[in-house]
Amino acid sequence: MNTEHSLSRFDEQSRLLVRSLLCGDSGASTAGWLDVFRRQQRTLPELSWPNLLATLCRDEVIWPGKDDPPLTTEALVCLFPALWKQNLLTVIHLIHSRVPKASVLRLLQRLSQDDSPGSWVTALTRQLERNLGSPCEEHLYTQACHRRLEELSQRLDGETAGWAECFSIQTEESQAAPWLSDFGTQRKRKGDLDILDSDEDRQQSKRVRMDDGSGVHEGEKAASEVMLEELDTQAGAQENTHPLPDHRKGGAPSEVPAQESSHDFLPEHIKVSAVQIKELLDGQTEWDQSSTEAFQLLNNCDTKQVPVLCSMLGLSDLAEQTLPKVCRSILALSPDLSFSTAAALIKSLLLQKVLSLSEPASRSLLTVVMSLCSRYTRSMCHALIEPVLAVESLGGAQAELLKKLIEGCLHSHYTLLVLQMTLRMSWSEPVLSVIHSLLDSEPDMNVELFTQLTAQLVRQGPRFTKSVNFSKLLLTILTKYGSTMNASNKKDLSGCLMIHGTFLKKSLQAALKRIP
């Protein structure tokens, strides 16, 4: 059954949700799906889920081919590509507290009947069963993965340093980039997939991107590429570029430590490829298919080499007109960049430009930031969003850019991550507007995080007794998160309102009283 025929089984609302999961890699499709889901929930709460899950669990007739067995039936969810099923389970994992438990367990039961679920689908299914309290004695990994881990363990144990050497490498990478310490240094995605996915799984993923069903993904992905190409055309008409102004107080840290700034730090083959990229950036050669191949160099650099390479290429001083071309080449890389490489690249390419904004971001800059954020969301959170929020004199232009990223690129998991970042820093009026945008996206906060947020509101409250932004933030919390609030939280917020002095004070007190 082809994908369009499968989509015809759903009602109009559910079809939109299903189609949004056909957007390719897990990060981009999950963000797009959650955006569609939130918009539907605002207009028709609790309508989409029962219909969607019930339809996915329905039996579908499998028509035989010439050499196939007679007619059989299979759950509709099992007929979708493996990547789509992975995206679906990733989304349910993020918001399973809002989904009827019985419906999810029924879906997992039907997925367990799939003849070839794939390693990721198997792992996500078992993890969801555990999250929902269903007994699951099986390991998250498959037998094939278990054998690979055993082989890897035996091979490393036979080495002189063994596993200790692996952990020492991770420690060195963490020390080289301490601002990434919250999530730790990540290995390249290809390394992760080599363990969890068999060669057959990887070939299947490639086929999924090329079949009729992935046409939706290609079309949506092409939309951003068309925008980047359009920006390239506009940039070609501009011959002069303007130097970037000095960045503000609390701006980006220096690109490369002094002891590693020498180009001699890079191997000779990296220097040769870097010269080709530099010629592209300086406009000495035309951008074509080989341009993307030149950027493949980034996948061949280790954690310490990437900042040196970025400094050598002068990415922080790159003209905005060139950004769309660079962005398109980065997004075309395969495999995707590792977390640390993407973070170092984003920091060098975009951070200084964002910190230097004194007016709304240009179309070129905004498109590039959002495109990279959709693909490398975690790296963007640590390399750009957190440093910008930490600036003492954060401006309105930066705040508006961050709000657009939150609304267009961050799904619930990363919204919670950014919210946690704001709890570790001093607040200002622009930061308040960013936090308000975070809470408007309705992240699924647990009691512990909500208590931390309440404590921060109480600490920061005396500085914003006349702030309307602070009043709106409090009103959002009282109206949208009343069910999360316990007696201690309510008492703390009551004390916070006592010293508050804007025209919204009575509305805030009334909202607090309505909370049981």
pLDDT values of the chain reduced to their tens digit, one per residue, 516 residues: 556 667 777 777 777 777 777 765 555 556 666 666 666 666 555 556 677 888 888 888 776 655 555 667 888 888 888 888 888 888 888 777 777 788 888 888 888 888 777 778 888 888 888 877 776 666 666 677 777 777 777 777 655 455 555 544 444 444 444 433 343 333 333 333 333 333 334 444 333 333 333 333 344 444 445 455 554 544 444 433 334 334 433 443 434 344 344 455 678 778 888 888 888 888 767 777 777 788 888 888 888 888 888 888 899 898 888 899 899 889 988 888 999 999 999 999 999 999 999 999 999 999 999 999 999 999 999 999 999 999 988 999 999 999 999 998 888 889 999 999 999 999 999 999 999 999 988 888 888 899 999 999 999 989 999 999 999 999 999 988 888 888 888 888 888 888 888 888 889 989 988 888
Size of the chain, expressed as the number of residues it contains? 516
pLDDT at 262: 46
Q: How many C-beta atoms surround the C-beta of residue 106 within 10 A?
A: 16
pLDDT at 223: 46
pLDDT at 178: 40
Please state, in angstroms and rounded to a whole number, the distance separating the CA atoms of residues 79 and 400: 42
Helices (H), 376-514: 377-380, 386-389, 396-409, 412-422, 429-440, 447-460, 468-480, 487-498, 505-513
pLDDT at 340: 92
pLDDT at 341: 93
| Residue ranges, CATH 1.25.40.480, the chain | 410-516
Radius of gyration, alpha carbons of the chain: 25
Please spell the DSSP secondary structure of 27-87, one letter per residue. Answer: HHHHHHHHHHHHHHHHHSTTSHHHHHHHHHTSEEEE---SSS-S-EEEEGGGGS-HHHHHH
Please state, in angstroms and rounded to a whole number, the distance separating the CA atoms of residues 287 and 144: 43
C-alpha distances in Å from residue 81, one per residue of 3, 19, 24, 354, 457 = 9, 12, 11, 39, 46
Give phi and psi for 67, each to the nearest 5: -105, 10
Q: How many C-beta atoms surround the C-beta of residue 448 within 10 A?
A: 8
Pick 410-516's CATH classification: 2.30.40.10, 1.25.40.480, 1.25.40.340, 3.30.460.20: 1.25.40.480
Q: How many C-beta atoms surround the C-beta of residue 186 within 10 A?
A: 19
pLDDT at 274: 84
Task: Select from 129, 136, 124, 122 the least CA-distant residue to 101.
Answer: 129
Instruction: Specify the pTM.
Output: 0.55
pLDDT at 199: 39
On whether the CB atoms of residues 475 and 457 are closer than 8 A, the answer is no
The two structure tokens encoding residue 447: 């009691």
Task: Select from 354, 391, 357, 353 the least CA-distant residue to 250.
Answer: 391
